[in-house]
Structure 1
């Protein structure tokens, strides 16, 4: 197969494509810009990426035995889009992901990855960060918090973290993200939102479904159009009369005996 000038490689449902065959392809296709592997159930580890420095988009979707991302992924300085979805054997991400200085879109969903790598907070080019995990904490060391460094993400528009192991207070730096439109922290152990959240000038969607440690909400930005909250601990709701742009409001107060559901469309 002559791949010297190939810029897009997309494989779907190719079980004959194993680690060694993929490695051979990558070594030849040195001008590659897009690599997409979907339902390739013989891939256990990613190839060494140093041979494809021009790669811009990388996708691993429904690769059922994929369990390791090679550390050379950090050498992909042109990478803009990284998507990992339904790779149920993948439990860790390499810290070298933090070297992807041009990464704008980062999706890790429906995997067993324990947490985001600490280095992710160096990626100042990020516009969209989606992270949902099926990993349940075995010990307290598996719990994690969003760092104060999140305030450096000046280009961030979407922050979605749905991990049952995310805990604690949302850092005040979240209020200094001028472009943030969507904030979704559903199914987490987040316990408190900072007052600075009212300073977000473009926030339209705030979702805190199944956040059972949240007891009250601060004053919210007037830009909100969608607010969805459910909690077993919610005791205090702010005055929402300032939310003139609100088109959907879901407040679910969960009780051990029954549910109280207030919905406005």
Structure 2
């Protein structure tokens, strides 16, 4: 049988309170792409899908209130893109995630119960994009993230992360960094070491008072903060094409999650 794509979704979704239920994903060994939007599954069913679908390269699951920890990922997995979004009670990411050696794109967006990541995240040596947006209980990044030299995009917006590692400049290929809506007080002094960073989003970062020297590679810079004391001298950023600077007092914002709910 040829590889195929599995798309299951609940077209009636207006919130995460309405779900279809899935109990069996047997005989899906030829699935390459699986998109389960609003399909309520248990951890056991997700385990069977990941272990049985050996050709699976893209897995997207949105809106789940049954799963509190990710499955055990097998070493033979061919996953390249894994998106787990709006898992209400997901608290634990299994350390076996480090076995996903082909993974290039990893997202745990809007998983409100995640407080920390396993250090095995640092073993994802092909990872390019890491999205942790709206993981509102996440308080820090593991130091092992700095081992992912392939990383080009990092999004920790709307988390409780108060500080980025001082050695974040070691992520030499990073081109996009978003810390929108975090309680970060200051950015690392090593920011200027980035050579590829083009996009830096710091809007709604209301604890930031001043900026360190930024990389001259920047083309997009957003910054809004109640605490900003002076207008920073950015004359050295000669590559900037998009610039937003604000004291933040006129900001109003809301974000619609994958289940149709609005965060403000």
Question: TM-score with structure 2 length normalisation?
Answer: 0.76
The question of 1:64 aligning with 2:80 is answered: no
Note closer, same or farther for the CA distance 1:210–1:176 as it changes in structure 2 (3 Å cut). same
Note closer, same or farther for the CA distance 1:59–1:214 as it changes in structure 2 (3 Å cut). farther
Question: RMSD in angstroms over aligned alpha carbons?
Answer: 2.2
In the alignment, the residues of structure 2 paired with residue 208 and residue 121 of structure 1 have an alpha-carbon distance, to the nearest angstrom, of 24
Match of 2:29 in 1: 4
Which of the numbers 145, 155, 160 marks the counterpart of 2:178?
160
The question of 1:194 aligning with 2:212 is answered: yes
Higher relative contact order (CA 8 A, sep 6+): 2
Q: How does 1:41-80 map to 2 (within 5 A)?
A: 41-80=65-104
Match of 2:254 in 1: none
Match of 1:108 in 2: 132
Specify the SS of the correspondent of 2:108: strand
Do 1:26 and 1:52's aligned partners in 2 also have CA atoms closer than 8 Å? no
Quote the offset at 1:30 in angstroms. Answer: 2.2
Q: How many corresponding residue pairs?
A: 222
Specify the SS of the correspondent of 2:182: coil
Segments of structure 1 that go 5 or more residues without pairing to the other structure are 136-142, 232-251, 260-265
Note closer, same or farther for the CA distance 1:41–1:48 as it changes in structure 2 (3 Å cut). same
Question: TM-score with structure 1 length normalisation?
Answer: 0.76
Match of 1:182 in 2: 199
CA offsets 1:208-244 (integer angstroms, 9 cap, x no match) = 112525544133401112222233xxxxxxxxxxxxx
CA offsets 1:102-129 (integer angstroms, 9 cap, x no match) = 1101111112222222221221111111
In the alignment, the residues of structure 2 paired with residue 213 and residue 121 of structure 1 have an alpha-carbon distance, to the nearest angstrom, of 29
The question of 1:126 aligning with 2:147 is answered: no
Do 2:127 and 2:151's aligned partners in 1 also have CA atoms closer than 8 Å? yes
Greater gyration radius: 1
CA offsets 1:65-91 (integer angstroms, 9 cap, x no match) = 222111111111111000111222222
Segments of structure 2 that go 5 or more residues without pairing to the other structure are 1-25, 251-264
The question of 1:226 aligning with 2:242 is answered: yes
Specify the SS of the correspondent of 1:39: strand
> Which aligned segments of 4 or more residues in structure 1 are displaced greater than 4 angstroms?
none
Specify the SS of the correspondent of 1:9: strand
In the alignment, the residues of structure 2 paired with residue 22 and residue 147 of structure 1 have an alpha-carbon distance, to the nearest angstrom, of 34
Specify the SS of the correspondent of 1:21: helix
Match of 1:173 in 2: 190
